Amino acid sequence: MGGVQTPATLDFNEAEYQRINTWLRNRSGMIFLDNKKESLMLRMDKVRETYLLPDLNALATALEKGQNADLETAVIHAASTNHTYFFRELSVLNYFQASILPELPITNVRIWSAAASTGDEAYSIAMIAAQTRGLDWAKKQLAILGTDISELVIAHAEKGIYGGLHVDKTPPEYLDYGFDPVGMNQYRVKQQFQQMCTFRRLNLKNTPYPFKRPFHVVFCRNVLYYFDRAQQTEVIEAIYNVTEPGGWLITSVTMSLRGLQTRWQPVEVGVYRKPL
């Protein structure tokens, strides 16, 4: 094939990269900048091997034909997968616990984890809310929706079983509170927390969102950087439209909404609020 050499000795050419990158953008809204080119193509090469395609050009052609839904799912999963873990960016979660939870209603609280990946974030939120407001309250009054573009990570989230890398940054008090060890360095989220969380496939690019009831808090972390600025604005404004007045948006601490045309009002680093 082409002449670009990666540290993993994968050869690919610019045309193959552009075709696959364009397909990902058109299908999911994800954009990979040139500094992520090698990482993306290494992931695509693993998909190519799994589906017994001769080269990355054949992978690009198969995607463009749009006749293999399983292949398309695998490509989106491979492109969007980053390692996540429980209680990621603990400073933001601490703010949620100390400053947002006390202001939420007593009944029928709805929270959306908009880029849920394997469910670590949604379950972390459930554990924090239950420990703060009481397990009995959370069982009756809290509903958490986790969505992701990848069907494979949604399936993982629904199983609720995680290896040690997912829980190695979990505060000790939550490890006992939220998990049952199941051997082989695996942990299962306790049933009461699984019952608080529902997981569904959703492409954030497909706006407006099909929710009949608005959310009180939306977590949209570590995903906006996949989109260009116009799509970032479209996503956060679509989230605004499905959030209660006075509701909250929590982004990654490294992803600022500064410079975007948005109605969200900044509160703290990574925290925004919809006016009442």
SS3 (DSSP) at 147 = strand
Where are the domains positioned within the chain? 4-80, 90-273
Q: How many helices (H) and strands (E) does the chain have?
A: 12, 12
pTM of the model: 0.81
pLDDT of residue 31: 73
Same CATH topology for 4-80 and 90-273: the answer is no
pLDDT in tens, 227-264: 888 999 999 999 999 999 999 999 988 788 988 999 99
With contact defined as beta carbons under 8 Å apart, do 7 and 38 qualify? yes
Q: What is the CATH number of domain 4-80?
A: 1.10.155.10
CA distance 81 to 65: 24
pLDDT in tens, 1-39: 333 333 445 777 899 999 998 998 888 777 777 777 888
State both tokens at 158.
Answer: 């629904």
Distance between first and last Cα of the chain? 57
What count of other Cβ atoms lies within 10 Å of the Cβ of residue 97?
Answer: 17
pLDDT of residue 258: 87
Identify the segments of the chain with pLDDT beneath 50. 1-8
Phi-psi region of 18 (alpha: psi -120 to 50; beta: other; left: phi over 0): alpha
pLDDT of residue 144: 98
Give the residue carrying structure tokens 């509903």: 143
pLDDT of residue 81: 66
Look at the domain 90-273 and name its fold: Rossmann fold (3.40.50)
State both tokens at 213.
Answer: 């009831």
pLDDT of residue 82: 64
Burial of 7 (0-12, 13-18, 19+ CB in 10 A): exposed
